[in-house]
Structure 1
Amino acid sequence: MKIHFLGGAGTVTGSKTLIEHNNLRILIDCGMFQGIKSLRELNREPLAILPETIDYVLLTHGHLDHCGWLPKFVAEGFEGKIFCTRPTKEISRLILYDSAKIQEEEAKKANEEQYSKHLPAEPLYTTEDVDAVIPKFRVVERDLEIQLNENVFFKFIYAGHIIGACSIELHIDGKILIFSGDLGQDDDVLMFPPQKPQKADYIFLESTYGNRLHPQTNSLFELETIINNTFNKGGTIVIPSFAVERVQTMMYLIWQLKKEDRIPNIPYIIDTPMGISVLDVFKDNRMWHKLSMEECDEMCKIFTLISDFQDSMNAVYDKRPKVVIAASGMITGGRVLSYLEHLIDKPETTVTLVGYQAEGTRGRKLLEGATEIKIYGKYYPVLANILLIESLSAHGDQNDLLNWLSELVVKPKKVFLVHGENEAADELRLKIKERYDFDSQAPFLGQIIEI
């Protein structure tokens, strides 16, 4: 059996792991690379394995770094089935169309204003390319065994992180391979704790926060302090947020603060059409999260939900103090850029980061103290306050990742540490050795391993 690490190795983006056994080829996730330019450029490179020779894709969840390369993958020849849970299909559809639309708009803008080095600038894929992906999805219930051939079957196992997210337990000729996907925190606000594996010969474990512990702080109090301090200065709070789960988590926390009269009566705006659509996914998939239908409805009532572009522009130019939650979470695109164009150079503004910021993204640059930021080809001075609520990450920290391994009844032959930057993966490797004496390694991008 050969394992090809085609993405998500040495980096937290572009997740793609290919399993090759006899004449069967299975791709676990098909993510887009994000962050630094050298990684983004990989999205336009052909896959090392011809897409038409791959039989199936098994999708852990619907984030762009796990599903975002599917349109390109299908356009380049993949003709097989894409297995996922029902919420993951719905989330992937939203995210892929949103991604295509943003790329089309940015290419159009770059060509009109001629700030791209590529003439003409072209999107990685279009909405028509996404149209070709959707019919290939096959919805699978979690914990249900799905036979791929006589000797191979898989099942999805609840992983937390975002709605629909699952780990994958893949059985091949009696061997058990487990792919964690992205794992949520054990005490997440909206998601249930991840289900722990009992048996595995080989484990492919995410290591995003492999070298970090989330601070044991009160995120409600942190958010309350940020909102009140910024309001007292007459400023706006901009919360760049992933449209899936982060937007809903921030809505839930603000709703809790409003119910207790701990924050002022100012506009609370959700400006992400996809984030608003995800609310329907939450309502339609009640078994996947902690909120009741009544809580979803009550929570939504305190927010102004913006989908129309003109309403978005009106909110951008509205000088009143307000709280705006807008995608994208790492400030790589989306409507949050319009707010930052007008607010990043104002000292009374607070930009509150609430999720992982990958290397090379605007979010990471702001977090590391950048004094200027480039948006649509122009540079803006950073005078706003940049704050991070680290405890709100959708990813489990080092302790959560280690605890996920705690119920294995037999020592696995190997743990492969994926979906993490090198330093994070290496520290997690040492901790796994120290606690469990499991043999671990962090594969490099493009590596092929035989097991």
Structure 2
Amino acid sequence: MKLTFLGGAGTVTGSKALLESDYTKILIDCGLFQGLKELRRKNWDNLPINLDELDLIILTHAHLDHSGYLPILVKNGYKGKVYCTKATRDLTEIILLDSGKIQEEDARRANKYSYTSHDPAIPLYDIEDAQSAITRLKTFDLNTWIKINDDIKFQFINSGHILGSAFVVLNVKGKIIVFSGDIGRKEPILLPKYEYIEKADYVVIESTYGNRLHKNRIITEELLRYIKLTYSKGGILVIPSFSVERAQEIIYFLSVLKREGKLPKIPIYLDSPMGVNATEVYLKYKNAHTLTDEDIKSMLSTVQLISGVNTSKSIVNDEKPKIVLAGSGMITGGRVLHYLDKLISDEKNSILIVGYQAEGTRGRSLLSGDSELKFFGKYYKIKAEVFKINEFSGHADQSELLDWLQHFNEPPKLTLINHGEPHQSQALKVKIKTDLKWKCTVAKMNNEYYLD
């Protein structure tokens, strides 16, 4: 067996791991690179594999950095299936269609306002490409072994990261290889906790927060503090939000504050077609999360869900105090840019960051204290206050990653660390070697790892 990382190594984006056994080739995750320009350029490169020889793709979950390259692969000739859980299928459809639409719009805007070095700018893929990829998705239940061929079978096990997320456990000729994808929190906000796995010969584990411990603060108190501060200035609070999981978590906490009578009487909007659709998926899979019917009813009465373009434009142009959740979470595109276009240079407004910001994204620039932010082809002075709540993270911290690893009955032959920036991955490697005494290494892009 041979394992090659074609993405998600040395970075938190572009996750792709190619597993080869004899003549069978399986790609675990098919993510888009985001953030740094040098990484985004890789999305335009063909993968170093013959797509006619690629038998199968398995998704751990729907996030763009794990599914967003699918339309490109299908456009370039991949003819096989993409296996995932039912909720992952529904969320992947939403995410890919939204991604195709945004890329079409970005290319159109770049050409219209001539702020592109390409003549003309073209989208990486479009809505039609996304629709083609969606037809390849095939779903399976959790905790059920699925036979791929006489030598290989696999199963999905709940990983607690987002709705439908799962560990991928492959049995290849009796050898067990576990791919963590992204691991959720030990005490997640809306989801059942991740499950433990007893046995593995090889483990591939993420390291997004491999060097840190999440602080144990009360989220509602922090959230209320920033809402009241912005309201006292007569400003608008903009929350760049990941439309899947994070948006639903924020809406849940806002509904709790509303029920407790603590919120100012101002409108709250979720201005994200993808976020609205993802919220509807939550209503569909009631057994896959921990929300009660009362919770859901309260959430829907707290926030106004906005999909239409004209309604969105009117909210953008309304200068009265309000709270707006808008995609994208790392401010790489989407409707949040239209709000920032109006609000970022006014000190009475606030921007609340509630998720991981990859290197090279506008969200990372805000957190780094940059004085200007570039989008729509020009620079904007950052005068709005910028805040961050770390406790929303959907990724396990170092202690939670170790907790999950410690529940294997015996050490794997090798643990490969991926999906992390170099410092985070190295820190987790040191911790695993020191505390668990396991053999482990940090995965490198395009390196081949032979599994006995």
TM-score w.r.t. the length of structure 1 is: 0.99
Query: Is contact 2:159–2:195 with CA below 8 Å preserved after alignment?
Result: yes
Residue 77 of structure 2 corresponds to 77
Residue 217 of structure 1 corresponds to 217
CA distance in 1, matches of 2:375, 2:179: 36
Measured after TM superposition, the shift of residue 216 of structure 1 is 1.3
Residue 179 of structure 2 corresponds to 179
Q: Deviations over 1:286-329 (max 9, x none)?
A: 12111123321221112111111111111111111110000100
CA distance in 1, matches of 2:242, 2:446: 28
- Three-state SS of the structure 2 residue aligned to 1:416 is strand
Instruction: Pick which of 431-440 and 289-298 moved more.
Output: 289-298
The within-5 A match list for 1:14-413 is 14-413=14-413
Q: Deviations over 1:154-192 (max 9, x none)?
A: 000001111000010000011000000101111111111
CA distance in 1, matches of 2:196, 2:7: 24
CA distance in 2, matches of 1:40, 1:133: 20
- Three-state SS of the structure 2 residue aligned to 1:280 is helix
Query: Is contact 1:4–1:19 with CA below 8 Å preserved after alignment?
Result: yes
Query: Is contact 2:254–2:302 with CA below 8 Å preserved after alignment?
Result: no
CA distance in 1, matches of 2:402, 2:33: 26
Identity %: 44
- Three-state SS of the structure 2 residue aligned to 1:405 is helix
CA distance in 2, matches of 1:91, 1:21: 30
Amino acid at match of 1:5: F
- Three-state SS of the structure 1 residue aligned to 2:135 is helix
Query: Is contact 1:237–1:322 with CA below 8 Å preserved after alignment?
Result: yes
Q: Deviations over 1:387-420 (max 9, x none)?
A: 1100111111111111111211111011100100
Measured after TM superposition, the shift of residue 215 of structure 1 is 1.2
Query: Is contact 2:26–2:57 with CA below 8 Å preserved after alignment?
Result: yes
Instruction: Pick which of 283-292 and 164-173 moved more.
Output: 283-292
What RMSD, in angstroms, separates the aligned Cα atoms of the two structures?
Answer: 0.8
- Three-state SS of the structure 2 residue aligned to 1:149 is coil
Q: Deviations over 1:57-86 (max 9, x none)?
A: 000000000000000001111111100000
CA distance in 1, matches of 2:293, 2:420: 35
CA distance in 2, matches of 1:155, 1:359: 33
Residue 10 of structure 1 corresponds to 10
Query: Is contact 1:51–1:74 with CA below 8 Å preserved after alignment?
Result: no
Measured after TM superposition, the shift of residue 219 of structure 1 is 1.1
CA distance in 1, matches of 2:287, 2:58: 21
- Three-state SS of the structure 1 residue aligned to 2:412 is coil
- Three-state SS of the structure 1 residue aligned to 2:222 is helix
Q: How many residues align?
A: 451
Measured after TM superposition, the shift of residue 41 of structure 1 is 0.1
- Three-state SS of the structure 1 residue aligned to 2:27 is strand
Query: Is contact 1:283–1:293 with CA below 8 Å preserved after alignment?
Result: no
Amino acid at match of 1:159: S
TM-score w.r.t. the length of structure 2 is: 0.99
CA distance in 1, matches of 2:51, 2:98: 23
Q: Deviations over 1:38-69 (max 9, x none)?
A: 00000000101122210000000000000000
Structure 1 unaligned residues grouped into runs of 5+: none
Residue 418 of structure 1 corresponds to 418
Measured after TM superposition, the shift of residue 435 of structure 1 is 1.6
Q: Deviations over 1:261-293 (max 9, x none)?
A: 112010111100111111111111112111123
CA distance in 1, matches of 2:42, 2:345: 33
- Three-state SS of the structure 1 residue aligned to 2:93 is helix
- Three-state SS of the structure 1 residue aligned to 2:302 is coil
CA distance in 2, matches of 1:107, 1:280: 29
- Three-state SS of the structure 1 residue aligned to 2:359 is coil
